[in-house]
Structure 1
């Protein structure tokens, strides 16, 4: 029997698989591929006696062996630091065993960390918003002034617009920063980019742009996220913008990414890149462009060759 493609994901609060896992299952059936979703919480690992290799398993599947054709990593649900570290260690072990994995663990670790993402983008010579990161509210307030007196405060980890706060008043900034410091939180401040009221999400897969959408915020919001009630429409990106998105994807070490672009005049390219998502959603993209994005992803994973363990990256 043909080995299955696995998707590591989390269930919704109701215990169901989320829309993206269900869409992958639909696409797999259309492509006549075996597909099995597995919860992150089901990951298990063993260290064997000397001379025998250890294993990583999930729901009875050995991810480090040939009985699995590939592993797709969807958004990792929140958990304790210990569990998150173990999950990433397990993914590195799977990669080292030669099992095709999308995205690679290094890309996941980079993209989930907003600061590290910007470091990688900066090193690649790509445009990023002016950003300050620190731990004390006093220094953050000084940075607030230097950043023009209007910033977006973001959690270091997180996606879909969750936890973002737009602050444009100094007293509000002082109280906000003090509250974050009091809970031992990290202060991540980004200059607010006053654009035309929309942003662009470019979906990249294996150094090719699958498509792009322009996202508009809901009437009651400033965040241009479809997950927070925003809307989307197809967006044509020119060759230069395609190259920009592909370079951003490569900078974080990803094969699959959603690259966010904010329009900003007066700079090369005309865009800044605030974030790169290594587990991007595609519901709005697929609907706007009438593309079977899930099928593209599964086909890319299926066509990824298995490496010999000694060829694979070490943990």
Structure 2
């Protein structure tokens, strides 16, 4: 027997290798993009004789008169056995709420959902992840969040050093700013009405860098260090990735950070704390890994796919094998 996400048990099903090549094998891959990441994931599934259903969460419907009530494209009278969430398209608050509801419903039905809705919800809200890190005692820069510009200005005035203002919902280094004086704060309408301010950690050696560790199934798959000519160290903003043999302390912190938000896989961003240790900046529940793959020693997509199938009882957990 294997535990299902809601704590009950379900019988272990036959491994994917027993299924005909080309069959979806009960797997759906949720995405709205047709990009490099999708091609890598499809290749990883194909190497196992599977062609997962590629669908958008916007195409899933609820039909309470039907069984199952969650109607996923390609699954007429059943729910998938595994769902890999590569992306959730932008939409209205109502649309995003329903799409997350789809993931909640699938998980409640015993589907192995990677990442589960709860993890996505926590990770997309930087304030929620910061609070969780603090509650878990994970080292992270001091953070202040408010909807009030006067309160934010007072925090900036009292801060000893620079702060980083980040969009509450955001990724790839877009929209972040260094703040040194209260008057540098933008108006609320320019930042979605929320001031998320985090203490800026200056590099001890003057080199701007951070660390991305890809976690899957409770272990670090691979890691990179990103170095930049500016303090923004995202690859999409011009930073350069390099292979990184993460020390035990960094690996343990990355795994703990992913676990704290309930993420089954994640891109975890760390920064040196200036005293020989690390701090966690954020956890990405739908991480890109093209930059990481360019310097990685393993096929990240292959490991991720193997872990998803193992979680659904469709395959054995894969070992980490250096890419050829």
Report the TM range for the smaller structure's normalisation: 0.7 to 0.9
Q: Is the 8 A contact 1:4 1:34 kept in 2?
A: no
Distance 1:44 1:75, change over 3 A: same
Cα-to-partner distance string for 1:13-49 (whole Å, 9 max, x where unaligned): xxxx02211211122222322222212221211112x
Give the ranges of 4+ consecutive aligned residues of structure 1 lying more than 3 Å apart after TM superposition. Answer: 181-184
Provide the rounded CA distance (Å) in 2 between the counterparts of 1:36 and 1:165: 40
Corresponding position: 1:58 with 2:72: yes
Q: Secondary structure at the residue paired with 1:61?
A: coil
Alignment partners' CA distance in 2, 1:31 and 1:223: 39
Q: How does 1:251-266 map to 2 (within 5 A)?
A: 251-266=260-275
> Structure 2 vs 1, CA of residues 183 and 292 (structure 1 numbering), >3 Å: closer, same or farther?
closer
Q: In the alignment, is the contact (CA less than 8 A) between 2:222 and 2:300 conserved in 1?
A: no
- Could you say which residue in structure 1 is the equivalent of 2:244? 235
Deviation of 1:296 (Å): 0.8
Change in 2 beyond 3 A, CA 1:60/1:133: same
Cα gap change, 1:305/1:117 in structure 2, threshold over 3 Å: closer, same or farther? Answer: same
State the Cα distance separating 1:171 from its structure 2 match.
Answer: 2.7
Residue ranges of structure 2 left out of the alignment (5+ in a row):
1-19, 314-324
Of 285-294 and 181-190, deviating more is: 181-190
Partner of 2:10: none
Q: Distance in 2 between matches of 1:240 and 1:172?
A: 36
- 8 A contact 1:149–1:170 mirrored in 2: no
C-alpha contact 1:200 1:260 (8 A) present in aligned 2: yes
Pairing 1:151–2:163 present: yes
SS in 2 for 1:153: strand
Supply the distance in 1 between the matched residues of 2:60 and 2:235 (Cα, whole angstroms). Answer: 31
Q: Which residue of 2 aligns with 1:20?
A: 37
**Aligned equivalents of 1:43, 1:248: Cα separation in 2:** 31
The answer to whether the 8 Å contact 1:31/1:295 transfers is no
The residue that corresponds to 2:225 in the other structure is 214
Task: Quote the offset at 1:150 in angstroms.
Answer: 1.8
Determine which of 129, 133, 145 is the counterpart of 1:117.
Answer: 129
Partner of 1:102: 114
Residues 130 and 147 in structure 1, CA contact (< 8 A), matched pair in contact too: no
Are the aligned partners of 1:136 and 1:181 in contact in 2 as well (CA < 8 Å)?
Answer: no
2:300 equivalent in structure 1: 293
Correspondence 1:1-315 to 2 at 5 A: 2=23, 3-11=25-33, 17-48=34-65, 53-61=67-75, 65-66=78-79, 68-173=80-185, 176=186, 179-180=187-188, 185-195=193-203, 196-217=207-228, 219=229, 221-266=230-275, 270-305=277-312
Bigger drift between 153-162 and 31-40 goes to 31-40
> Relative contact order: is structure 1 or structure 2 higher (C-alpha 8 Å, sep ≥ 6)?
1
